[in-house]
Amino acid sequence: MSALIADLRRAAAERDRLAAETTDRTSPSSGDPLVVYFSSISGNTHKFVEKLSARSLRLPLRTHEEAPVVREPYVLAVPTYGRPGGSGAVPPQVVKFLNLEENRRQLRGVLGAGNTNFGEHFCLAAQKIAVKCDAPLLYRFELMGTEQDVANVNEGLMKLWQ
């Protein structure tokens, strides 16, 4: 029985280690740009961020999970999930993250993800956060972005971190 429990513990530890590897590409020793992002299970923003030459930290999928505290400058990438009329555009997981004062203090800019089908509400979440947190809206891209979007954002991040 105790061998089984030990096996289960080892399996759980390995699962946590793998989860940390896939969701947290930060390295405290690096001076490279840091992108913190939310991406739902559709994963468009995740696919975009993965292509950047930057460290990244994915916010928890579930709102009840604890939001991380980021103690260094970062850029936030956020998709919009609006209701008709534009309310509720900012995912609650991002609201929870930005409710922490330290996280707002380290925010250097916002990258908007969205879909131009939503017309004037394209990337509304990023626009709202930029205004509310007094941070520049650095860039907007559709879905998982194009190669040109990746190149443009990489260039912008390099300049911001110089």
Ligand X SMILES: Cc1cc2nc3c(=O)[nH]c(=O)nc-3n(C[C@H](O)[C@H](O)[C@H](O)COP(=O)(O)O)c2cc1C
Interface with ligand X (CB under 6 A): 39-40, 42-46, 79-82, 89, 113-115, 118, 121-124, 143
Torsional sign, CA 23, 150, 45, 37: positive
Q: For ligand X, which is the closer residue by CB, 60 or 161?
A: 60
Q: For ligand X, which is the closer residue by CB, 81 or 161?
A: 81
Q: Distance between CA 9 and CA 3 in Å, rounded?
A: 10
Q: For ligand X, which is the closer residue by CB, 28 or 119?
A: 119
The least CB distance from residue 67 to ligand X, in Å, is: 17
Q: Distance between CA 58 and CA 78 in Å, rounded?
A: 11
The least CB distance from residue 87 to ligand X, in Å, is: 10
Q: Distance between CA 66 and CA 73 in Å, rounded?
A: 20
Q: For ligand X, which is the closer residue by CB, 133 or 143?
A: 143
* Residue-wise DSSP of 33-63: -EEEE---TT-HHHHHHHTSSSEEEEPPSST
Residue nearest ligand X (C-beta atom): 114
The least CB distance from residue 24 to ligand X, in Å, is: 17
